[in-house]
Every structure is written in structure tokens, then in C-alpha cells.
Amino acid sequence: MVQLGRRLILGNWKMHLNGQQAVALSSAVAKQSPTSDSDVTVAVFPPFTALQAVAQSCRSSHLLVGGQDCHGQAQGAFTGSISAGMLADAGAEMVILGHSERRQLLGETSQTVCEKAEAALKQGLHVILCLGETHAQREAGEYLSVIESQLKQSLPTGVTRENLSIAYEPVWAIGTGKNASALDINDMHAHIKTLLIPLIKGEIPRILYGGSVKANNALEILSLPVVDGVLVGGASLDASAFLSIVDAAKSTSKQASHAAAGKVSL
């Protein structure tokens, strides 16, 4: 399993970019990605068709590469699907599972997500498990229970901080330009952490935020002590916007380590 920094900055490229464009973008990001001793790990999630080319082009850098989904079975007659083993073979070290665009548009259930996560863990991939409530669920005051049932039903056994991270992505914040408030993020991350404590042996997995994270709000979001990183969609398609978000993570990490050491951050 790949070693990760304390904070993760992840770029979900969704169904964008051909092979050449994907390699160009990953190379631009790789040039400025943090080094191995950094507190911040950066990864990109290209479409399947570009994954191997991107992984090969980033091999000598510290940029990690992941898949956007995988199947729950190791192999079989599943036309159009990709197994976790195939992702690993193509050079992926991580996989996003349970993204709301799959839960909502493709009817993916938490049980299916759990099977996929089990398959991914068997292949040594680090799982980014996405959870998120809709606008209607938030308005109805059901958001805490929705996240609780998604988490409990999607989480496979044998999870540790090393093999899985959670991405809290409110559905109403994805691609809308409306990110959750600091108060909403604090409340939900604390809720998820409380739910995880009895379910995990050892240190609690990282909890990331996703949903309209941009260069101009990343610093505020990453300054929240409960946020261990961000999952970025739209803004990750632009190298300079994505690298500004990486810079925000580096600067907030520095502040956090100075504060922990009792130093004043300049």
C-alpha cells in the first residue's frame, strides 16, 4: 500500500481529457507536486483510457494516480467494467468509490460500493470512499442519518487509515459553485469521525471535503483542522488552479506543524 502524507489533494478528472491532454496536464502538475517528505500527497484520477499513459509519465515524480471506479469482482463477463486488479496493473495506487454521480445517476447502492471497496483493498489500492447527502435530504434535516447509513453500509471490513480515506461531498455542492460552509463542514466531519471511532482499529482515516473546491476558497477550507484534504473536480482540470490548491494545503500544513511545535507561523 502506498505511503501517504497527512493531507491529500486529489483531482477527479471525471469524463474529461483524451490521452494526450491527460499526460500534458499530469506532467504540469507532477513538476510542482510536493516531494516524498512532504506532508501533502497529490493524486490525479484520469479516465480509464488515459490511466496507464498518465501513470507512466508520472513514474519518476511524487504524483500518484488513481481510478475513478472499479468492479466488485476480480474478473468475468461484465462488459464495459474494469476490475481493481486492472487498475493496479495500469499503475493506479488509489480508487474513488461511491461518488454521488455514480450513486445518483447510475443507481449504485452502498452494498455495491462495499463490494467494490473489498475488491480494491485486496488489490492493495487505497480507497477514497465518497459520502454525501442531497439538497432535499439536507433541507429535510436527514443529512446526519443519510451519511451514517451510507458510511455503515459502504465501509468494508479491515479498514485502516493506511488503506482508506473518506471524502465528504455534499451532492448540492458538486459542480454548482456552492461549497458547504465552514460550520457545515466542521459538523459533518466531526459526525463522521464519531461514527468511525468504533468501526476502525487504530488511527482514524483521513476525512476529505469535496464540492466546488476552487483556488479562491481552498485556503479557507484547508485551514479547518477537521479537513485532511480535498477532492477537487472542475478546478483540477486546470493546472494552475489545481496547483494553487496544492499550495494552500502546503501552507496550511506548515501552519499546523508550527502550531503543534508551539512555534509562531510567519
Which residues are catalytically annotated?
A: 99, 169
Q: Minimal distance in Å, beta carbon 134 to ligand PGA?
A: 14
CB of 17 to ligand PGA, least distance (A): 14
C-beta closer to ligand PGA: residue 18 or 104: 104
- Smaller CB distance to ligand PGA: residue 85 or 222? 222
d(CA 206, CA 143): 20
Q: Residue 131 forms beta bridges with which residues? A: 168
Minimal distance, residue 233 CB to ligand PGA, in Å:
2
In the complex, residue closest to ligand PGA by CB: 233
**Interacting residue ranges for ligand PGA, rule: CB under 6 A:** 12, 169, 174-175, 210-213, 231-235
The CB-of-20 to ligand PGA minimum distance in angstroms stands at 23
Instruction: Give the position of cell 503543534.
Output: 260
Closer of 16 and 254 to ligand PGA (Cβ): 16
DSSP-assigned beta bridge partners for residue 45: 12
The residues with which 8 forms a beta bridge, in sequence order, are 41, 229
The residue (of 8 and 174) whose beta carbon lies closer to ligand PGA is 174
What burial class does residue 122 get, using C-beta atoms within 10 Å of its C-beta: 0-12 exposed, 13-18 middle, 19+ buried? middle
Residue-by-residue DSSP string for 85-153: HHHHHHT--EEEES-HHHHHHS---HHHHHHHHHHHHHTTPEEEEEE---HHHHHTT-HHHHHHHHHHH
